[in-house]
């Protein structure tokens, strides 16, 4: 359905994330993947979804002068927000352990922003999911970090991994948002753009 509505547009996904790419395939969209390096830094004054909005828009900047009339560029960013700070990707195993341990027995938020950029407009939307972990033992956390190596994941975990299976006690909001893309919002926004 959406594929038909988008037939006159070229959808460009600027993400190396296999999970995000799979979501686009699962939506049955025709799309191209184009990657450009971006230093993911943001002003310290930003908080919460302001960070992901900013970074999603920042990732679109290198493409600005290359877009053609019917192109829709999609960029995205996800953070874990806990204790009033953003948890990005861990530096090493100890950092990953510390991040997960800090969230053990508590509720954190996963925030994803999606930025849609064309020649004529830019629209940014975001989604927030609340995730509550059970009390995790140090042994469980180390097992996860050593076995699953979650170095490429915001907050040092993937909900679809072992830690999500054994550790997530409660979830409010979009499960797919925690995986890195609120697919319902992607679908809805693309429909709004082409209608």
Position 45 scores a pLDDT of: 96
> What are the pLDDT digits (tens) for 16-31?
999 999 999 999 999 9
CA 130 – CA 157 distance, rounded (Å): 14
Query: Residue 29 sits in a domain of what CATH number?
Result: 3.90.950.10
Residue 47 CA to residue 94 CA, distance in Å, equals: 25
Token pair in block for residue 91 = 């530096």
DSSP letter, residue 106 = S
- 175: domain range? 2-194
Contact 173, 129 (CB under 8 A): yes
Round to whole Å and give the CA distance between 42 and 46: 7
Q: Is beta strand 122-133 parallel, antiparallel or unpaired with respect to 71-82?
A: unpaired
Residues involved in catalysis: 77
Instruction: Tally the domains of the chain.
Output: 1
Percent of the chain with pLDDT over 90: 94
Question: What pLDDT does residue 195 have?
Answer: 86
Question: Which of 175, 123, 182, 183 is CA-nearest to residue 2?
Answer: 183
Phi and psi of 193, rounded to 5°?
Answer: -65, -40
Tokens of 59: 């990732």
Rounded to the nearest 5°, which phi and psi values hold at 133? -90, 145
C-beta separation of 129 from 77 below 8 A: no
- Compute the distance between CA of residue 181 and CA of residue 20 in angstroms, rounded to an integer: 6
Mean pLDDT of 139-162: 95
Q: Please report which confidence band the pLDDT of residue 1 belongs to, taking 50, 70 and 90 as the band edges.
A: confident
Residue among 38, 154, 142, 42 at smallest CA distance from 88: 154
């Amino acid at each position: 359905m959406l594929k038909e509505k988008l037939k006159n547009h070229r959808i460009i996904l600027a993400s190396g994330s296999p999970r995000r790419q799979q979501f686009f395939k699962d939506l049955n969209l025709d799309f191209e993947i184009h990657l450009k390096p971006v230093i993911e830094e943001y002003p310290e004054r930003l908080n919460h979804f302001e960070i992901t909005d900013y970074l999603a828009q920042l990732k679109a900047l290198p493409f600005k002068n290359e877009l053609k009339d019917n192109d829709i560029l999609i960029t995205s960013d996800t953070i874990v927000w806990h204790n009033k700070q953003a948890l990005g990707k861990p530096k090493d195993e100890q950092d990953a352990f510390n991040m997960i341990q800090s969230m053990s027995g508590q509720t954190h938020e996963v925030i994803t922003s999606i930025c849609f950029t064309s020649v004529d407009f830019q629209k940014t939307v975001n989604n927030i999911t609340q995730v509550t972990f059970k009390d995790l033992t140090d042994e469980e956390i180390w097992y996860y970090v050593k076995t699953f190596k979650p170095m490429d994941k915001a907050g040092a975990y993937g909900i679809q991994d072992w830690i999500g299976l054994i550790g997530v006690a409660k979830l409010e909001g979009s499960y797919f948002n925690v995986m890195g893309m609120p697919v319902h919002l992607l679908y809805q926004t693309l429909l709004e753009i082409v209608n």
